[in-house]
Structure 1
Amino acid sequence: MHFGRAAARLNLTQSPLSRQIQMLEQTLGVSLLERTTRAVRLTPAGRTFLTEAYRVIAAAESAARLTRRAARGESGTIRLGFTASSAYRALPRIVSLTRASLPEIDLVLEEMVSDEQIQALEENRIDVGILRPTAALLDPKTPLATNILAQEHLLLAVPRDHSLALGRAPSLADLDGEALVTWSPRGGRYFIDLLDDLFATAGIRPRVVQRVNQLHAMLALVGAGIGIAVVPDSARGISLSAVALRPLAAPEASRPQLLLAWRRDNANPCLPTFKAAIVSGDRSPDR
Structure 2
Amino acid sequence: MFSLIQLESFVAVAEELHFGAAAARLNMTQPPLSRQIQLLERDLDAQLFERSSRKVELTAAGKVLLPSARRILDLCTKTSLDVRRVATGDAGSIVIGYTAIAGQAALPGILRKAGEQIAGVSLVLREAVSVDQLEALSRGAIDIGLLRPIVARPGVVTRPFMEDRLVVALPEGHDLATGNGVFLKQLDGLPLMMYSTAEARYFHDLVMRLYESAGVQANITQFASQAPALLAFVAAGLGVTLVPGSSMDFAPPGVSFEELRGPSGLADLNRADLHVAWSEATANPAVIRLLELILDDPQGAVGPVA
TM-score by length of 2: 0.64
Q: CA deviation at 1:167?
A: 4.5
Q: The residue matched to 1:109 in structure 2 has which SS?
A: strand
**How many pairs were matched up?**
208
CA contact (8 A) 2:231 2:251 kept: no
Matches within 5 A, 1:5-44: none
Residue 156 (structure 2) aligns with:
144
Deviation string, structure 1 residues 8-46 (Cα, Å, up to 9, x no partner): xxxxxxxxxxxxxxxxxxxxxxxxxxxxxxxxxxxxxxx
Residue 251 (structure 1) aligns with:
267
Match of 1:268 among 264, 284, 299: 284
- Report the Cα distance in structure 1 between the residues aligned to 2:269 and 2:284, rounded to whole angstroms: 35
Residue 169 (1) aligns with residue 157 (2): no
Q: The residue matched to 1:277 in structure 2 has which SS?
A: helix
- Report the Cα distance in structure 2 between the residues aligned to 1:234 and 1:167, rounded to whole angstroms: 17
Residue 78 (1) aligns with residue 94 (2): yes
Matches within 5 A, 1:1-287: 67=89, 75-135=91-151, 137=152, 142-249=154-261, 250-280=266-296
- Using the aligned pairs only, state the percent identity: 33
CA contact (8 A) 2:228 2:251 kept: no
Flag the 1:167–1:93 CA change in 2: closer, same or farther, 3 A. Answer: closer
Q: Which structure would you say has the larger RCO, counting Cα contacts within 8 Å and 6 or more residues apart?
A: 1
Q: The residue matched to 1:251 in structure 2 has which SS?
A: helix
CA contact (8 A) 2:165 2:273 kept: no
- Report the Cα distance in structure 2 between the residues aligned to 1:148 and 1:211, rounded to whole angstroms: 27
- Report the Cα distance in structure 1 between the residues aligned to 2:277 and 2:184, rounded to whole angstroms: 32
- Report the Cα distance in structure 1 between the residues aligned to 2:202 and 2:179, rounded to whole angstroms: 30
Q: Which amino acid aligns with 1:260?
A: V
Q: Which amino acid aligns with 2:226?
A: Q
CA contact (8 A) 2:166 2:243 kept: yes
Q: The residue matched to 1:236 in structure 2 has which SS?
A: helix
Q: Which amino acid aligns with 1:152?
A: D
Residue 20 (structure 2) aligns with:
none
Alignment RMSD (CA, Å): 2.0
Q: Which amino acid aligns with 1:206?
A: A
Flag the 1:224–1:185 CA change in 2: closer, same or farther, 3 A. Answer: same
Residue 32 (structure 1) aligns with:
none
Q: CA deviation at 1:115?
A: 1.5
Q: The residue matched to 2:186 in structure 1 has which SS?
A: helix
Structure 1 gaps, min length 5: 1-62, 282-287
- Report the Cα distance in structure 2 between the residues aligned to 1:218 and 1:128, rounded to whole angstroms: 26
Q: CA deviation at 1:236?
A: 1.5
